[in-house]
Amino acid sequence: MATQANSHAHPTIVSVDPFVPADQQKGLHNRWHPDIPAFASVKPGEVFKVECVDWTGAQIGNNDTSDDIRDVDLTKIHNLSGPIAVEGAEPGDCLVVDILDVQPFEKMPWGYTGIFELENGGGLFAKEFKSRAAKAIWDFHGVYASSRHIPGVRFAGVSHPGLIGTAPSAELLATWNERECGLIDMHADAIPPVAFAPNPTGSYVGQDIPDDVREKIGKEGARTIPGREHGGNCDIKNLSRGSRCYFPVFVPGANLSVGDLHFSQGDGELTFCGAIEMAGIITFSTSIIKGGVEKFALKQPIFLPSPIDPLYSSKLVFEGISVDYHGDGKQYNMDATVAYKQAALNAIAYLEKVGDTREQAYLLLSAAPVESHVGAIVDSPNACVTLAIPLGIFDHDILPKPEGLTKRDFGQCAVRSDGVL
């Protein structure tokens, strides 16, 4: 007879409350540093769960204004769960991580996508749009998300951790800080900034550690915003539940950290707070391949995508080239970033014809399972990048028609309480 016998729930090794500020909770940290001790330890082969707060650490609410987005404190992001030591992992090994599942908390079946202010966080079009804060709340209905702030769409989530990585060695950390601070020096007055130097303000390690170590981490710890050789904030939508990832190991135990869970995200995550950001629970198992860095020439993570990523075979695809046609017409030299931006601008202009506001379109392209391919990167001087919108996410027909497009009224997303756009 079926009994509790032999029936064991997978253990949770980091527990958090999504409604409590991150800096009041154990097992979280928001800088990369080799001196952050492992918060928990697992054996290879073990299945375990890790709970994560949302990337802002409970700064954003389920409501209809974007004031919280406007006022977000970015020194406190991203709040990562961990580090988790894997027994036996040593520098030079490859840590194999199976991302077995990613789920929201049962008590928090919602997430958000935000557009940041030009001066606080930015985003791909922060300057072009002189961005003011905006927001969409997404409700999770099982495998689907939909939003009262962007009516007419519903899609299945490509749920994944936006941020996952192993801890850097001291040497690697030094390399990061040197090269990024060099870039900052070259663009001292950029708004938004080109990179983020170590900053003790807001730095947090949710463990009992000596004060001098804590201070050192604050002073030296790499910020979490960019992806780097260890993984980190790569925001790759296809590193989703069901995928298997191979990380290089830089410190004993590998010290894996994870956070910034996304219910869904489009390629590019263009508004920066562009995924459907959520708190939630990620299920892992791990194994170790000795000497894997050398065996696989592993300069950065490699991965096997999931067989259950949503499949929408019909798409409308927008092209972009590395010319800033919309403004000064400037010619860039093989710049895929500019080409991506043009493709995205073309898509936004199209969605506006269908009835979305610019803000809604910008949020939607960030959050939905949009695909962006590098078309060609060798046809000087124009890189060509495409951006594909799945047609199956709309409850209305957006295909080009001889009679043109039907412009519907979808209202507006959440904006600032002072109405400034």
Residues 199-218 that bind its own copies (CB under 8 A): none
Considering the complex, state which of residue 214 and residue 285 has its C-beta at the smaller distance from its own copies: 285
Nearest distance in Å: CB 58, its own copies: 4
Separation of alpha carbons 335 and 20, rounded Å: 42
Separation of alpha carbons 89 and 252, rounded Å: 6
Considering the complex, state which of residue 26 and residue 148 has its C-beta at the smaller distance from its own copies: 148
Residue among 32, 55, 250, 272 that touches its own copies (CB under 8 A)? 272
Considering only residues 160 to 189 of the shown chain, the ones binding its own copies according to CB under 8 A are 162, 175, 179-180, 182-183, 187
Nearest distance in Å: CB 117, its own copies: 14
> By CB under 8 A, which span of 34-42, 207-215, 251-259, 319-327 interacts with its own copies?
319-327
Nearest distance in Å: CB 174, its own copies: 11
Ramachandran sector of residue 13 (left: φ over 0; alpha: ψ -120 to 50; beta: rest): alpha
Considering the complex, state which of residue 39 and residue 55 has its C-beta at the smaller distance from its own copies: 55
Considering only residues 95 to 154 of the shown chain, the ones binding its own copies according to CB under 8 A are 96, 98-101, 106-110, 122-124, 141-144
Is 16 an interacting residue with respect to its own copies (CB under 8 A)? no
Separation of alpha carbons 25 and 18, rounded Å: 10
Alpha-carbon Rg for the chain, nearest whole angstrom, is 21
Is 420 an interacting residue with respect to its own copies (CB under 8 A)? no
Binding track, positions 54-83, relative to its own copies; x by CB under 8 A? x-x-xxxxxx----x---------------
Q: How far is CA 312 from the centre of its chain?
A: 22
Residue among 152, 237, 256, 355 that touches its own copies (CB under 8 A)? 237
Separation of alpha carbons 76 and 114, rounded Å: 17
Separation of alpha carbons 112 and 110, rounded Å: 7
Size of the site for its own copies (CB under 8 A): 157
Q: The tokens of 316 are what?
A: 């409308």
Cβ partners under 8 Å of residue 349, min gap 6: none
Among 385, 349, 350, 393, which Cα is nearest to 368's?
A: 393
Is 196 an interacting residue with respect to its own copies (CB under 8 A)? yes
> By CB under 8 A, which span of 31-39, 239-247, 248-256, 408-416 interacts with its own copies?
239-247
Contact call for residues 391 and 315 (beta carbons, < 8 A) = yes
**DSSP codes of every residue in 40-67:** EEE-TT-EEEEEE--TTSS---SSSB-H
Q: The tokens of 154 are what?
A: 């519903």
Is 360 an interacting residue with respect to its own copies (CB under 8 A)? no
Nearest distance in Å: CB 218, its own copies: 20
Nearest distance in Å: CB 110, its own copies: 7
Write down the residue that tokens 């996508």 correspond to: 113
Q: The tokens of 32 are what?
A: 């990369």
Considering the complex, state which of residue 220 and residue 267 has its C-beta at the smaller distance from its own copies: 267
